[in-house]
Amino acid sequence: ELQTGGRIGCDGSGLMGIQAAMKARGLSGKRTLVVMSGEGRTLEMGAGDFIAAFDREQKVTFIVLDNQAYASSGSASTPTTPLLASTRIFSRATGGKDTAERNMPMMMIFGKARYVATAVSAYVRDLVVKVQEAVKFQPSYLHVVVPCQVSWGYSPDHGVQISRRLVQTGMVPLWSFKEGVFKRTVRIKPEERLPVNELLTLQRRYENLTPEDLADLENHIGRKNALVDAMEEVLTGPETVSW
C-alpha cells in the first residue's frame, strides 16, 4: 500500500516517482498501484496531473469516489454535481445548478484508458468485479458514485435506497469498457425504470423543482442513456480498439 498524499492533485506525478523508485529496486510489476480519492481532488484540482498519467500510460488504477460536492468545505459544487442540484453556490432558491455534470468516465474511454467503468455502492457484486478488472487492465479508471448525507440532505436510513435508485432511475447507468469493448453491466428494463422524482424526493438538494425542471432532468437522463446504448451498439464483440 502506497500513500502519495500531502499535495492535493499531484497523484499522477507522485506515482511517477514511486514507479521510478520501484524500478530502481527491481519491484516493477510486483506491486499494484492504486489511487483512491474524491472527484474534486482528481477531476478538478488535479485534473491536469490525472490526465497526464494516462497520457504517459502509467500502470495505475484511479478509483474516484464521487459524492458530487466538496462536502468538507461547505458543499460547493464539483465538476460532477448533477443538473439542478443545489449547492453552496447554486442554492435551491435559484433553481440549483444550471449546467449538467461532466461525464468523466465517457471522456476517459478516449483518454488512453484500457479499462473504464461506473459503479455505485449499493450494487456490491458489480463493484467488486469492476475493482478486480480495473487493477488487472491498467491504466484504468473506476468512477464510483457514493451518496453523501451532508451534501445531498437525506435521512441516514435512506443511503442504500438512494444508491440503488441512482441506477433504477437511469441517473447513473452502470457500464464497463475493457480494451475496446463496451457493455452495460446492470440493465434496467424500460418498464421497470423509476421516475426520477422517486430519487429526488429523498434529497433536500432537489427541493423546489418545478414540473418543467423534472421534465428537463428526465430528458437529460434519456440523452445520457441513449449515449450508453449507442456506445454498446458500436463497441461490441471480441474486437479490440487501439486509440
The tens digit of pLDDT for each residue in 203-229 reads: 989 888 899 999 999 999 999 999 999
CA distance 95 to 3: 40
Residue 243: helix, strand or coil by DSSP?
coil
Q: Which three cell numbers stand for residue 38?
A: 474524491
Cβ atoms of 61 and 139 within 8 Å: the answer is: yes
Residues 8-17 have pLDDT tens digits of 545 556 777 7
Q: What is the average pLDDT across 58-63?
A: 88
pLDDT at 46: 59
pTM above 0.75, yes or no: yes
- Which domains can be identified in the chain, with CATH numbers? 11-234 (3.40.50.970)
**Which residues are paired to 118 by β-bridges?**
143
